[in-house]
Amino acid sequence: MTVDTGFEQELDALAEVAVRVGLNLQPGQDLVLTAPVEALPLVRRVTAAAYRAGAGLVTPILSDGALALARFRNAREASFDRAPGWLYDGMAQAYEGGAARMAIVGDDPMLLADEDPDKVARAGKANSIAYKPALERIANFDINWTIAAYPGAAWARQMFPDLPEAEAVTKLARAIFEASRVTGGDAVAEWQAHNARLRSRTDWLNDQRFDALHYSGPGLDLQVGLAEDHEWHGGASEAKNGVICNPNIPTEEVFTTPHAQRVEGHVRATKPLAHQGSLIEDIAVRFEAGRIVEATATKGEAVLRKLLDTDEGAARLGEVALVPHSSPISASGLLFYNTLFDENASCHIALGQCYSKCFLDGGSLSADEIAAKGGNSSMIHVDWMIGGPETDIDGVKPDGTRVPVFRKGEWAA
């Protein structure tokens, strides 16, 4: 099942937005593009749009769910401690040489749900280790990069199991295109207006210079210290190479770097987390001195624990993000089983690696300087949702003064 027929206009618009707004691809710039094979209708349009924008060379790298399952069902035990480091080294070299990065997501979010969780965790860890040289260029915002989505059939069946496949794919396609703001007349202009609205939020937060955020609500009493010299971002941001891009298509969040040593209290997830083909439900954790010291889940707890054991930084926070409960993705009432969308339905936090761009003059800071300011380091970066219609958030200033930021899940200012 493909959405190529019937959604040509939306796919064309999404490709243009991904290249012109998401990447803001520069003349002569190369592009490394990853996608599932099912997303070829969008890959082809993105490639054409990139070359029209003056791309030097577009290099697509395609994945396939059936091939991934073949490994888990047939490979020798030692296979699950390996990853294609040579491929990721090549990607890192491309980014060092100035290439942009685009990922198109759309594969089955529960692909590995029935596979051995130990093998899934080992393969994930090996992949994280091998991918780190490339991930650092992305997480440190050395390059312009973006992520967009294509409505894959397995993904659609997961979201709409009671519908025939064709109807499920059509419903997912419409949800993706609406969330990605490509269903109106001038999608690029709509994104420019949306970025301006997000920028007004980040400007206000940066002017406040909060020392911490305090969250309260059902199952939630959490104080998140903010990193020294943190800076809020949202929507379009300037990468270290000077290119202004939108890393996520869609996006509704404003975000910054928490202090890895200054998180206290307890919090429950308000949405399930789809991670490495498994669904983790009802996450509940308690923080002391920045680290998760207790963690439970009603489903997928073993996967959660293995995730937290990835490395020393995996049980600490690398991002805190604010999203109003009334966001379009939240209003849709859909669970996408995909962080690109689900994180934009709710305030969320991320375990693991921080973004160096979320510091004043972050582009000039070394890894040691980022760590000294409270930035976290890890091989992972995993977002999960903690916000809802009863969430209140106060900004706490250095003198203890509290300023309302969210009330009942919505912006208070």
The pLDDT assigned to 231 comes to: 97
Average pLDDT, the chain: 94
Q: What is the pLDDT of residues 300-334, one digit of tens each?
A: 999 899 999 999 999 999 999 999 999 999 999 99
Cα separations (Å) of 253 from 36, 322, 343, 397? 26, 6, 8, 22
Contacts 24+ apart (CB under 8 A), 81-84: 81/122, 81/123, 81/126, 82/126, 83/123, 83/126, 83/127, 83/129, 83/130, 83/131, 84/130
Q: Is 93 helix (H, G, I), strand (E, B) or coil?
A: helix
- List, in sequence order, every residue forming a beta bridge with 281; answer none if it has no partner: 299
Q: What is the pLDDT of residues 21-64, one digit of tens each?
A: 999 999 999 999 999 999 999 999 999 999 999 999 999 999 99
Whether 97 has a pLDDT exceeding 80, the answer reads yes
Determine the angle formed by the axes of helices 85-96 and 117-139, rounding to 10 degrees. 10
Who wins on pLDDT, 106 or 274?
106
Q: Please tell me the distance from the alpha carbon of residue 297 to that of residue 359, in angstroms, as a whole number.
A: 33
Question: Locate tokens 């200012």: which residue?
Answer: 413
Cα separations (Å) of 388 from 225, 258, 347, 409? 21, 20, 7, 6
Q: Please tell me the distance from the alpha carbon of residue 224 to that of residue 287, in angstroms, as a whole number.
A: 10
Count CA atoms within 13 Å of residue 51 on its CB side: 8
Question: Locate tokens 């290099």: which residue?
Answer: 59
DSSP per-residue letters across 202-257? HHHHHHHT-SEEEEEETTEEEEEEEPTTB--EESSEE-TTS-EE-SBSS---EEEP
What percent of the chain has a predicted confidence (pLDDT) above 70?
99
Q: Is 380 helix (H, G, I), strand (E, B) or coil?
A: coil
Q: Euclidean distance between the first and final Cα of the chain, in Å? A: 45
Task: With cut-offs at 50, 70 and 90, classify the pLDDT of residue 139.
Answer: confident
Residues of the chain with CATH 3.40.1830.10: 8-179
CA angle 154, 302, 382 (to 5 degrees): 60
Closest-CA residue to 412 (of 282, 404, 209, 84)? 404
Tokens of 151: 């409505």
Whether 364 has a pLDDT exceeding 90, the answer reads no
Q: Is 76 helix (H, G, I), strand (E, B) or coil?
A: coil
The residue type at 163: L
pTM for this entry: 0.87
CATH of domain 8-179: 3.40.1830.10
